[in-house]
Amino acid sequence: MKIRKYIPLLALASMLLGACNDDFLNEKDTNSYNPEEVWNDIKLVDAYIAYLYRDTFESWPVNSGNLADESGGLYDQSYITPSSKHMKPWNYEEIYKINLLFQEIEKGTLSDSQKKYVKGQAYFLRAWNYFRMVVHYGGVPIIKKPQTTKDDLNVTRNSTKECFDFIVSDLDEAIASLPDKSEGDNYGRISKSIALAFKGRVLLYKASPQFNPSNPYDNEYWDEAYTANKNAKETLEALGYGLLDNYNDIFLTENHKEAILPVIFTNPGRTNGRKEHSVRPITESKNGTGGDQPIWRLVNAYPMKDGKQPGESMTYAFDEQRFWENRDPRFYSTIVYNGAIYELSGKSGRRQYTDIELGTTEDGFGKTQGYYRTGFYSKKGIQVSLPQAEVSLNEVDWLEIRFAEVLMNYAEAANEKGLQGEALEILKKIRKRAGVEEGPDGMYGLKNGMGKDEIREALLHERYIEFTFEGKRFWDLRRHRRLNTLNGIMKFGLEAKLNGEVDVDKAKVYGYLPEDFTYKVSRLIEKDIQTEGGGIQKLTMYMPDTYYFFPISLDDLDKNPNLKQNKDWGGDFDPTL
């Protein structure tokens, strides 16, 4: 059962935040609520916190795979520039609201325990917002109080190290203030468990090659990354968190032991977090499609069911014309291929066709109506039972942190510490849960005797498969400084062509099987094309070294002349540690 304590309070929170200005405490009445009494009433404070949650946490990261080698989008030189709007989070509005809470809650009459709980959540939310900016830009201005027009608003950037220290300090405050778990009516609220897991993620980034290019895998920060992630793993396990037995259940069930930080969706109230209307094939959707369509590179990355890569298995031969056979079970939980059973809208026995004859130009491979069709669709997080007219009513919770990430973060840090045995045990545990065959050597398809470099590659590849379309691939490659593996690549799909003439009666009952087609790997874009905005869509991906830190927006630089631009974008600020 879904518990949705926050939703009814959001309208009130929005109203209250509308009064958050320099005269907030001097207002005698705000739409029948006295702002002076807000911080005396736990229900109103809860409403305020609920609104901060909505400001801070995003929904499913649909189309994030376009930036990497998961889905079909291609980006050229015009995508990220100082004047473009892409990759430019500047979360100071949210930070202002959080700082306002810290200032005003002390003037209220809530009990000490209530204040401690509220402030613990706020510390986490502030850390989250700062981390998001630091990952994009490196160091940013640290602001600890709500600024007013009386303050000097032309602040300077703090160093990246100072920002990481500040984020960790806020997380430590949250860890010390919050209950171990959030259950029952509080499910979805920040807890000590969530803060511990997130601290592990933060320190993994701090130690990463992204922030330490001159000493990527042997710097001093790996010690604290290992300690934090080991502590998170062991503490969460002791509290009952763990991997679900069935990978397929992660997003098909809710409020389970793998859900660390859920962003909750419910109908009625808050729906369409998965943006299912843009992920389903158009014949079973509305108002557009094209999101999260797997490319051939991703499909081909899934191991065989013995854990060996396609073409390397001695047990399961790989044939491009029967590519769907004998794959890692996570393949079938995620990838919809031509002729696969995909019972959308409650249609029993329905198969998804992506050739032009049976799938038509709406669902079939190629380019039509401005959309690319890769020959594949994603089923992760899709509520297949929803009818076409109601696809935007999906209520699948988004798991911003799940226990598999805690394990994988720990394994990465352990490997860089030289503890290859610990890292391998995590890899085997992840593959065992996935349903990969153990094999006679008990290695689940992994190579025996791997060293640090090989395990690092195995972990990065495992994350590619485990977290497909969960918004991690681009950021994983970026923090490892592997964007060069994307720069210049072409993206391919798989074109299906029915063998013989279409039997209309057979097609009506979804009688054609995957083996009734011939397959051809084909480019999604065959030549440079002009976009609707007048630009040129290039044939290949553009991912230069300057993307390891993005430029601060020219709009923000114009507002504050004391901000320095990053050194790779015309400034002299060094965002590395």
Three-state SS for 471-485 is CCHHHHHHHCCCHHH
Q: How many CB atoms lie within 10 A of CB 37?
A: 11
Say if CB 326 and CB 305 are below 8 A apart: yes
* pLDDT, one tens digit for every residue, the chain (577 residues): 233 333 333 334 444 444 433 332 233 333 445 667 889 999 999 999 999 999 999 999 999 999 999 999 888 788 999 999 999 999 999 999 999 999 999 999 999 999 999 999 999 999 999 999 999 999 999 999 998 766 777 999 999 999 999 999 999 999 999 999 999 999 999 999 999 999 999 999 999 999 999 999 999 999 999 999 999 999 999 999 999 999 999 999 999 999 999 999 999 989 999 999 999 999 999 877 779 999 999 999 999 999 999 999 999 999 999 999 999 999 999 999 999 999 999 999 999 999 999 999 889 998 765 568 999 999 999 999 999 999 999 999 999 999 999 999 999 999 999 999 999 999 999 999 999 999 999 999 999 999 999 999 999 999 999 999 999 999 999 999 999 999 999 999 999 999 999 999 999 999 999 999 999 999 987 666 665 566 666 688 999 999 999 999 999 999 999 999 999 999 999 999 9
Measured distance CA(219)–CA(217) in Å, rounded = 6
The confidence score (pLDDT) of residue 126 equals 98
Q: What is the DSSP letter of 470?
A: T
> Which of 201, 190, 200 lies closest to 123, judged by CA?
190
Residues pairing with 230 in the sheet: none
CA 62 to chain centre: 9
Is the bond preceding 561 in cis, omega lying within 30 degrees of 0? no
> Which of 63, 81, 85, 80 lies closest to 72, judged by CA?
63
The confidence score (pLDDT) of residue 529 equals 61
The confidence score (pLDDT) of residue 536 equals 60
Distances from the Cα of 50 to the Cαs of 11, 17, 74, 117, 122, in angstroms? 10, 11, 36, 13, 11
Say if CB 445 and CB 303 are below 8 A apart: yes
Say if CB 391 and CB 280 are below 8 A apart: yes
CATH 1.25.40.390 domain residues, the chain: 7-212
Helical (H) or strand (E) element with 231: helix 221-238
Bridge-based pairing state of the strands 536-537 and 529-530 = antiparallel
The confidence score (pLDDT) of residue 299 equals 98
Q: What is the DSSP letter of 249?
A: G
The confidence score (pLDDT) of residue 37 equals 80
Q: Which CATH number fits domain 7-212: 1.25.40.390, 3.50.30.40, 3.30.1360.120, 3.40.50.2300?
A: 1.25.40.390
The confidence score (pLDDT) of residue 294 equals 97
3-state secondary structure 484-520: HHCCCCCCEEEEEEECCCCCHHHHHCCCCCHHHEEEE
> Which of 17, 24, 4 lies closest to 269, judged by CA?
4
Measured distance CA(453)–CA(412) in Å, rounded = 11
Measured distance CA(171)–CA(120) in Å, rounded = 9
Structure tokens at 65: 């795979």
The confidence score (pLDDT) of residue 455 equals 98
Q: What is the DSSP letter of 270?
A: B
Angle at 162 between CA 160 and CA 168, to 5 degrees: 105
Task: Collapse the DSSP code of 241 into the 3-class scheme (helix H, G, I; strand E, B; otherwise coil) and give the result.
Answer: coil
Task: Collapse the DSSP code of 402 into the 3-class scheme (helix H, G, I; strand E, B; otherwise coil) and give the result.
Answer: strand
Structure tokens at 166: 């500040």
Structure tokens at 376: 């594949």
For 330, list phi and psi in degrees, rounded to 5: -65, -25
Contacts of 127 (CB under 8 A, 6+ apart): 167, 168, 170, 171, 174, 198, 202
Give the burial class of 123: count Cβ atoms within 10 A of its Cβ; 0-12 exposed, 13-18 middle, 19 or more buried.
Answer: buried
Distance between first and last Cα of the chain: 45
Measured distance CA(137)–CA(142) in Å, rounded = 13
